[in-house]
Every structure is written in C-alpha cells, then in structure tokens.
Structure 1
Amino acid sequence: ETLGLKDGLYSIGIGVDSSLLSDKVLQRSNRQYTELEGNGGKIDFIFRKTFDVTLPEPGQIVAGEEFTVSWEEVDGAAYYTVEPVVSEEPYKKSGTSFRSSASDKNGERQFTTNYAVFNVDMLRNQFIIRFGGDGTSIEPLTVLGAFLPGAEYPIVVNAFDGDGKLITSSIPLRSYYDSIPSVTVEGKLTKGEEMILRRDYTGAIAHYENILNDNPHDVEALRYLVRIYGTGWKLDEKNLEKAYEYEKRYGSITGDNKMLINTLNIMSRDEIKENSEIIGLAFEQAKDDIDENEYYFLSRYYIALGNYEAAREMLDKTDSVSDKLVYLNMYFGDYTKAAENLQSKNYYLSRLASNKIINAVRELGKNPPTARDRQVFNDFLLKLIKGVHYENGQSLYDETVKQIENDNIKTILYEIYLENHWNRYV
C-alpha cells in the first residue's frame, strides 16, 4: 500500500529473499505498469511452485533422431511451451545463453497435452544463433545452429493460461542449468563442422563444395553452404545467389524451404532493400509453409520496400500485437483499430496500453487532427516504423512535438518518448 501518489503510470517491484525462490516462479501480469486513476490501483505478485519435467532426465543421451519431453499437468494451463537453453559456448557450457520455444516434429510450438516429440534435425534448422561475432566474421553457431552432437542442452517447460500469461515453469527463479533436465545428442562433429567451429569458413566452403561435386544431394553440405553464403561468413562475402540455388536443392530433397528465410532474418533494412529480389524468390518458394516468424520478416521486407499496407497486413496475421502494427494503423488513420491493438491481451508489456493513451487514440478517430498535424504525426510514425536509433529519439521527439497543436497527439508522442527511453539520451 502506498499513500500520496498522483494518478499516472507506475512500475512496481518488490524485494524478496532469494533463498525463498529455489522452487518458485513469478506468475507474470499481462501489464508491466500499474495505472492509478481516481481511487488508486492494484497489482498482485503471485508466486507459484514449479512443476516437474518427467522426461528427459538430466544428461539424457539421444541416440536416434527424436526425443520426447513430458511433464506433469498444471491446473489452469491452456497450453505449454518447451524451451531448450542454447549457450554461446555449448561444449564449455559458458558464454551468453538464451531460451526460445521449440517446434515439435509436427511444427507445433504450443502443446495442449503434457508431452511433445522433437526431431533433432528440425531443431538444428530452427535455431539460427545470432551471437555477435568478432566484427569481421560470424559466430560459428550462426552456421551450425543448436543441438550439436556431444553438447548438452537443458530443457525448460512453461505453462500458460488462456490469455497467454505465464502461470508457472519447470525452472524456478533461482536455479542452475546443470541441475535441470537436459539432452545430449549422440555422435560427433563432422570434418566440415569442425572447420566451421574453428572459423575456417573458407576451408569449410571448399570442403562442402567438393562433396557436392561428388554428390549434389548431400544434405549436410547444402545446409551449411546455404547458411554460410546466406549470412556472409565475413564482411562483404555474402553470396545470396549461391545461397538461393543451394536452398532450392535442399528444399527439394528435405521438404524444408525456409532455411534461407531464417538465415536472412538477421539482415538490416538496407540489406533487405538491396537484396529484395532474392528475398522475394525465397519467400515465394516457402509460401506454403509461412508461420508467425516469417510474417514478421515479411513485414520488415515490405517496410524496406516502402509497401506499408502490405507490412500492416503481415503483422495483422501474427498472434501477438507489436508496436509497429499500432504505428501502422495510426499511420493509415485507422485509430479505432490502433486502440483495439493497445487493449489486446496479445499486446506486449508497454506503457502505451494505458487508458490515457487508448482514450487519446480513440479521440483522434472521433475528432480527426488537422491535415498539417496529421502529416507531421505520420512523418514521425513512419520514422518509428522504419526504425529510430536511441540517440536520435530525443531530437526526433523535440522536432515533432513543437509542430503539433493537437493535444491527443502530444499525449501519444510523450508516452512513446518515455516508452522508448529517449529521455536517457538528453
């Protein structure tokens, strides 16, 4: 309980003795901020006990192409996700690590049962690791992916309610990855994979192209050449024409036509624009198997080409609601839809979801701004849609707000300014 706080948005945290969190998970709210209006507001911090993963056991060896993850059921869970833990140095279990939901052998990511079966080869294609590199060459895992033979990968399972809110997880707030279920794929790296791991990309290219001279259908050679040529193993060494040719051959053999798209997803807007023809061909090849991740990349592709209506259409196909979809709807004057976006349970944690902003957006629909205000606001939105560097945010905000007369637009601008933390670069 607090006294004397003015109406507004507040970010609230609590301090808890970490020894209490060895078997607890924080059930997260759908909102990061609490909004105080009139009689105050309320936020609950709910800690739930973890649940058990029954398979795999810690350190379980995967001898074949598939493995099963199973877990105990959680009351109130609408679905579960399975997240392997991928580290920058998988053989040393060190460096930066991340968790990302994995698709099972049927391509599903959300499971309503208490088990899922995963295909190792599919997982290796799914995880394009985007660690930084040394500035002159890509990280080996960007090419090799995850689930390398002989490396251990911890497994985390999460339970969500029908609104997509985390209920609890198999991993507590205080834990160590070496104490949780994990899998290790049997086998060892091939000669070409060892070359990639030690950053000998030139040698790996020669090795794999020699293999293709003898066997044009070698899946390993095609997979890694798509990734090496698609990402560019060092500065100015990208060759998308070769990557696309190998991708077509790889897809005809395996049925997987999305590896090049997954690889190209790390491109900047300028790179997308420069290579739009090849990217368009890659999407055409994979058009029958596009999912949410590809819709996001497609939206970036259309933004780079200046086709903002198509970008909005792609983002509207995704399950979640992003800032860019909100900005695009406002850019096209669809303020009612933008307000609906901000109220959606699928909108991510943001201060823009406050009643103050939602009401301001709605008012723009009821009482449209002047042509001049709308043009200035749209210019601002378009810069956001394309991407604004943090250091340029303050000047962009200052230049925009001084030209605006509409109070509702000023309210929206200020909250965008705070949400993007541009005030840190004053």
Structure 2
Amino acid sequence: MTKKTLIILVIILGLILTVGYISTPKLMAVKIAAYEQEGNQENAVILKERLIRFFPGSEEARWEVYSLIDRLLEKEERVMIGPDFTSGGGAEEDILVPAEKVIVYLLKVTKAQKEAMWKYNMYEKLGEVYHSQGSFSAAEENYLIAAKGFEAVDGNFRAAETNIRLVNLYLETGEQEKALSLIEESSKKYADLYIDEFLSKKGDLFFQQGDYQKAEECYRKALEEAKKDWDEFQAHRSDQEESINATLDQQPVYRHSKSQMELIRNLKTKGDEAKGSVKGEILKGNIPMSNVLVYLINEKKYDGRMNHLEGIQESSAFKTDMKGEFKFDNVAPGRYFLVLGLLPEDLNGLGRFNGLKAFTVEEDQTKELRYVFQPKAKILEPTGQNTFNAGESLKIAWEEVPGAKSYNLHITLKLENGYASQVYRQNLRGNSYIFNPQGMALREMNFVTWGNEYVLGPSAILGSFYPGAEIFFVVEALDHEDRTISDSEGYVLEPCGNYPSIQVGETNPLSIGDKLVLEKKYSGAIEAYLKGLEEKPNDPHILLSLARLYNYGWTEETADLGKAVNYYEELLKVNRDRFIVQAAAGANNQAGNYETALKLYEEIENEMSKSIFWFHQMGELYFMTGNTEKAIEYYQRYLNKEKEFIDLGPVIAYLYQDDVPGALKLLKENSYSERVRYNSERETEKPADINQLINNLERYHNGVHSALNKEDFKKYLWEIMSINGSNRFEKVQAFQAKIKSWGEKDVLVFVLEELAKDRL
C-alpha cells in the first residue's frame, strides 16, 4: 500500500467518523422520540443520558437536557395538603431522573456550549433547578452569571426575565434589601421590558414589610402597565389568530396585582385593630423539613377551589428554612388554616396525619403550630394480592407505631372510575386483625358510589365483598387523643408500594336479584327480590337489598324512604347485627322518624360512641324528640372533644331552654368554620356571622326589646333545626323572608337570620 493510498484511507476514515459523530446525536434523538411515543420511558431516559454524556455540545443534547429539566420541574408540582383535602401525589408512571443527576448533566452541557446565548440559557436553567431544590445560594450564583451574560451579549429581554427569577428568590429568602435594589436597577435598565412585573414584585416586597400604602400604589401602577401591554397586544393581533389567555384578568401579573389589592382592602376594613402572628415548624420525625411552601388561608374566603389559593392567601406563601420554621406577621384577627405544599420526594415513605385543623388568630397574640410527619405504618402481612372466598380468614398484621394507642383498619374499594374508602374497624388494640367476614357480615360495609354514566355501583346494595370486587387494606395509627399519627398509605402513591389487597371470589350463592344488581339492572332486581320474598318472607339478604335499593334510590323514581324504613323494620325482626341497626337508624332519621332513630342508635351506643361525631348526631336527635337537656349533654360531650361546631345546633338547644348566657358561652369558647356555603346553583353563600350573632344575643340579654315572645322564638328555633335534606337554600330563604314580618331590625330576627344561614 502506497503512502498516498494510506493518506486517502485515513482521510476517508476521518470523514466517516466525522459524519458519524455529527449524525449519531440526530439518530439517537430520533430513537428517543420513538421510545417515548411507544411509552417506553425507561429506554428513552437511558438513551437521553447517553446522548448527553457522549455528545454534550450537540444541539440534541441541549434539547434532551432541557426535557429532563422540564420534567423535573413539572414533577416538582407539589402535593398540597390541607385540613381535609390532598391534591397531587398520584401514582407516577414517568421515570424521573434525580435532581442531582440532572444538575451533573446540565453542568456538562453548559461547559460544552460554544454559543454564548445557549451557555447563559443553561446557567439560568441551573438556577431554576437549584432554586426548586432549596439550594438558594447556588441558585443565586447561577442566576447572576446568566443575567450578566445575557446583558453582555445584548440579551436584555432574557436578562430582565432572569432578574425576575432572582427577585422571586430574594423575596422567598427574606433578602428584602437585595430584592429592592435589583427591582430598582432593573426598572431603569429595562424600562420597556416587564415593567409591570417589576412593579408587582415591588408591591410584594412592601406587602411583606407591612407597608400596605406603598404596596397598593405599586400594584395600581402594575395594573396600569399590564393593561397598556394588553391593549397593545390586542391592537396588533389579527382576528384570525388563535386566542390564548383571552382576557386581561387571566394575565398572571394583572391577576396577582388585582388579588393583592383586594387583600389589602380587606385588611384595611379591619381598621386599626391589633394584628397577631402565626409561626411554627414542620418536622419529619425529629428532623426539620425545609423547602415546604406554607400558605396561610383565610377560612372565610376559601370556596373549595385548590387553584384559587393565590387569590385568598393572607400573604405570600412562606418557604420553610433549614430549621423547618415559618412565620407570618401582621395577621388580622380571624379564622385561618394552613395548606402545605411539599415535593412528592419529600413525602416518600411518610404517612398521613390530621394535624392541619383551622385555628383562630387573636389580637397581639402569636399562634404557635407544630406539624410532624412520621414514617408510614408498615403492613407485614399479607403482601401482594390474595383471593378471598366466603368463610375463609385472612390475617392482617403490621409493625407497631411508636406513640400509637390504637389503630383503624380501612378498606378501599376499587371502582370503575376511581376508589372509595371507609373505616372498616375502629380503635383496634395490638398490631393484627383476623379478617373473616361471613354470612350477613359480607354485606356489612357498602359504598354508595356511582359508576360511569351515573349508575349506582353494586357495592351500594350487595356490600363491598361481592364477587369480582378488588379491595385494598390501609392501617391508620391513632394517638391517645384519637388523632392520626401515620398510616400505611401515605400521601404519595408508589407504583411498587405494599398495598395488600384481596380479589373477592366465591361468596354465598347469589340469588337472581343479586346477579341483576351485579349487572346494574335494578328494575329487574327489585322485581326478582319481591318475587323471592314471596317464597322467603324472612330472608335477611333480600330484605336488606330492598331496604338499600329504596333508601339510596338507584333513580329518583325509585327513591322511597317510606319503603326503605318498612323493609328495615322487617329485617330487624330477623337480624339485629350492628350495621343493620345503624342503617335502619339512619333511614328513619332521614325520614323524620326521630323517636325510632333515637331508640335504634341507643341500642348500639357502645359501638357508636367510639366516633365523636355520633355524640353530635345524638344531640340533634334528642333535640328533635323534645329532650333538650339530654341534647345539650351530648352536644357538650362532642364540643369538649372537638372544640368546633359542626353546626350551631348546640347554641339553638341552649336558646330553646331560654339559656342565653349558656349559648353565649358556647359561642365564645368554641370555634366555627367560616368557609363559604353553597346554594342549589352551586354559588357561594356566606356562613353565619358569629360576631353578629354574639352581638345581638348580648343586646337581647342586656334588655333590648324584641317583638317576638319566648314561645314564638322557640317555635322558630324548632323550624331552623328542621331545615334538612335537599333544597336547603330555598328553605332558608323562605324562612328568613317569613321572620322579617316581625321587623327587619328586630334583635331576635337578626339572631334567627344568622342561625338559619348555618343550615345551608
């Protein structure tokens, strides 16, 4: 081989290698896209990582590392935990590359970039990732590099965006001087870019400092600038162009500034009353939890919408520091609750607890709070899924939870469109339970749920243990005050988590009616059950099925409480299992047969009294049966434990006995949920105004005359307690209109109006 030939071969080989090096990232990117389209996330992620490692300077590596970052930041959507709700934390099918690994890849790609703009884009992304992970000093360092770099290469637009991120960081970490300095500097440098955003951030800063006048001025200017930008955008947008975020009110800066101004106006209406504060800590066992977003929510403004928290929070969300601590100053007296936003990975392995109850902030007082997450309770047996047939037994065992006095065993039924859960056994001692339902107990727990096309599920009639049902077990650990310490489920569903379950196999022989219920043919089921009853008039399964069908009404036409009560009455003659007595009591209560309901509940008092809410139920029933002294006794037992009204029934009971001081004492010593109520059109309605109620009761007690005599007043109190069932809003409105005939400014009319609002 000649030297010339060798040189040619080397050149050809070099060209082949060069072409291969250039084309390989493109080929890898095509294969990644194919894997993702197939749903093969595992192979897609492996190939992404190889592409980034071996070809960090390629355009494809840039986009793939961006995709890893975006997925990481999207998955950082927090699990939001409130007093009685949790959102997020569902089972994750995506494969998420850990943040530490993403940072390593991002640094590698950043260093390999030849184009300045791309390099600083990467630095900004590094800042975002560090920021999301709570590494604030690293986030600041990378944001600063990116901002200075963008400015150097004449990327003012990107420099302004990065400075906004920096301002957010400073506001989160409480570095107000840095935030103000950067806002002032950026407002001058980039006067034509994001001026509305910088003004809004300045408003946030003054709001943090409690200088509401300056904050309001900044927000007002931000609104003006946002409107100018919007009007200019609309003027240059073609009619054919697709409308995105089509109203001014939907623009983030405008919406935020407007909601903050509304919040300031609400604070001003409080006058010069002394403010309180809220502070606390969040722990994982004994370890502080940093990077938890804490939202302080005014209970009166909360309308049940999770996406509405920004508009009703009392001040900007606080992110816990390295000690797990948070604090809100200048809080107007009133009722509040906290919502915690945690990263799913910070909740992995932790159980649920029930400490997030509403609380009251008082003048010149600091409300101190402490929330502790504990490890999930661990179920030892069974593991995986088991088949369960009638007559068999299944042992459920779990590790003891430190500090637990007792345990609740929950069962969760898998539905065609979700899941439903209930407590199956309460206050179990020890760390095991033999699961062995048979006979009528197979139908003990029923879930009144609706499936697809709004059809009643079979479990409503046949109970949870019907053939083919899939049931999961969850153990909940309780402390000495019956508060949840932890459970075996937790807030984040793990794909490989140990959720022991059973697939229900054979049960007792199914009747024709039962089979029709499984097929959701309820008209045919009723006919079959009635025919079966002719042959077996005392068959408990048939009687229970008919009672439930008429009680729950699989359609509006078949709902018949009278028939349900009658079938329960016949059933009780042949079987008085606790769950049947309880169901019969509930049906009689719904039907207004209060005496019968009361006697049935009294029969199972030993079991029912394990639930504190039962005492409230009994208080209402004793009131409706004319025994107000007994009603007050049971209401008081409930309030001694819970310290919060479910409704104002206890106050009505005291007033019915003409004990105004007793009613006032209750109102002042116990809290009342100020969450908005809903009318029949699902529009929000205000709850009772407790301050107005106290004020007018005190006026009456101090001698202010009312046109209502005591007997009229008692008659109306009784009417209020009788407002139940559907169409409550219309009933309340009709009642309020009726009592105005006594005089719209009458002191007791005011009292009755507020008490009636509580029945919504």
- The answer to whether TM tops 0.5 is yes
* Structure 1 residues 211 and 5, CA gap change in structure 2 (3 angstroms): closer
Q: Secondary structure at the match of 1:86?
A: strand
- Cα distance in structure 2, aligned partners of 1:264 and 1:134: 30
- Cα distance in structure 2, aligned partners of 1:369 and 1:22: 60
What is the CA distance between 1:172 and its match in structure 2?
A: 0.9
Structure 2 partner of 1:265: 586
- The answer to whether the 8 A contact 1:52-1:170 is kept is yes
Structure 1 partner of 2:373: 47
- The answer to whether the 8 A contact 1:83-1:99 is kept is yes
How do 1:26-425 residues align onto structure 2 when only pairs under 5 Å count? 26-29=352-355, 31-63=357-389, 64=391, 66-87=393-414, 89=415, 92=416, 94-95=417-418, 97-103=419-425, 109-121=426-438, 124-131=442-449, 138-175=456-493, 179=497, 180-187=499-506, 190=510, 191-238=512-559, 243=564, 246-256=567-577, 259=580, 262=583, 265=586, 272-273=591-592, 276=593, 288-290=603-605, 291-292=608-609, 307=626, 309=628, 312=631, 315-316=634-635, 322-332=646-656, 333-334=658-659, 335-336=661-662, 339=665, 350=673, 364=698, 367=701, 370=704, 372=706, 379=716, 383=720, 386-387=723-724, 389=728, 403=745
**Between Structure 1 and Structure 2, which shows a larger proportion of helix residues?**
2
Q: Secondary structure at the match of 1:211?
A: helix
- The answer to whether the 8 A contact 1:78-1:160 is kept is yes
Structure 2 partner of 1:106: none
Q: Which runs of 5+ in 1 are unaligned?
A: 104-108
Q: Secondary structure at the match of 1:156?
A: strand
The letter for the 2-side match of 1:50 is K
- Cα distance in structure 2, aligned partners of 1:79 and 1:282: 30
- The answer to whether the 8 A contact 1:257-1:286 is kept is no
- Cα distance in structure 1, aligned partners of 2:601 and 2:366: 51
Q: Percent identity?
A: 18
Per-residue CA deviation, residues 287-337 of structure 1 (Å, 9 max, x unaligned), is 53353587766666677x674738936953975663244333343344537
What is the CA distance between 1:171 and its match in structure 2?
A: 1.2
- The answer to whether the 8 A contact 1:49-1:168 is kept is yes
What is the CA distance between 1:150 and its match in structure 2?
A: 2.4
Q: Secondary structure at the match of 1:386?
A: coil
Q: Which moved more, 1:180-189 or 1:253-262?
A: 253-262
Larger RCO, structures 1/2 (Cα 8 Å, 6+ apart): 1
The letter for the 2-side match of 1:47 is F
* Structure 1 residues 280 and 28, CA gap change in structure 2 (3 angstroms): closer
- Cα distance in structure 1, aligned partners of 2:636 and 2:452: 36
What is the CA distance between 1:138 and its match in structure 2?
A: 4.9
- The answer to whether the 8 A contact 2:420-2:447 is kept is no
Structure 1 partner of 2:335: 9
- The answer to whether the 8 A contact 1:82-1:158 is kept is yes
- Cα distance in structure 2, aligned partners of 1:395 and 1:40: 43
What is the CA distance between 1:100 and its match in structure 2?
A: 1.8
* Structure 1 residues 337 and 282, CA gap change in structure 2 (3 angstroms): closer
Structure 1 partner of 2:256: none
Q: Which runs of 5+ in 2 are unaligned?
A: 1-326, 676-689
- Cα distance in structure 1, aligned partners of 2:343 and 2:505: 40
- The answer to whether the 8 A contact 1:151-1:184 is kept is yes
The letter for the 1-side match of 2:350 is K
* Structure 1 residues 339 and 82, CA gap change in structure 2 (3 angstroms): farther
- The alignment covers a number of residue pairs equal to 394
- Cα distance in structure 2, aligned partners of 1:123 and 1:342: 45
Q: Secondary structure at the match of 1:327?
A: helix
* Structure 1 residues 318 and 55, CA gap change in structure 2 (3 angstroms): farther
- Cα distance in structure 2, aligned partners of 1:368 and 1:57: 66
What is the CA distance between 1:215 and its match in structure 2?
A: 3.8
- The answer to whether the 8 A contact 1:24-1:47 is kept is yes
- Cα distance in structure 2, aligned partners of 1:371 and 1:119: 64
Backbone CA RMSD of aligned residues: 4.9
Q: Which moved more, 1:196-205 or 1:114-123?
A: 114-123
The letter for the 1-side match of 2:506 is G
Q: Which moved more, 1:318-327 or 1:139-148?
A: 318-327
Per-residue CA deviation, residues 403-426 of structure 1 (Å, 9 max, x unaligned), is 3669x979x959x97x99x9xxxx
Per-residue CA deviation, residues 262-298 of structure 1 (Å, 9 max, x unaligned), is 16736896xx24xx3xx75576577533535877666
- The answer to whether the 8 A contact 1:208-1:225 is kept is yes
- Cα distance in structure 2, aligned partners of 1:134 and 1:260: 31
- Cα distance in structure 2, aligned partners of 1:310 and 1:135: 48
* Structure 1 residues 366 and 242, CA gap change in structure 2 (3 angstroms): closer
* Structure 1 residues 217 and 42, CA gap change in structure 2 (3 angstroms): same
TM-score normalised by L of structure 1: 0.70
- Cα distance in structure 2, aligned partners of 1:314 and 1:65: 44
Per-residue CA deviation, residues 369-421 of structure 1 (Å, 9 max, x unaligned), is 64529879975795366258468879989998963669x979x959x97x99x
Q: Secondary structure at the match of 1:110?
A: strand
Per-residue CA deviation, residues 114-136 of structure 1 (Å, 9 max, x unaligned), is 22334424654433433358999
Q: Secondary structure at the match of 1:51?
A: coil
The letter for the 2-side match of 1:350 is S
Q: Secondary structure at the match of 2:339?
A: coil
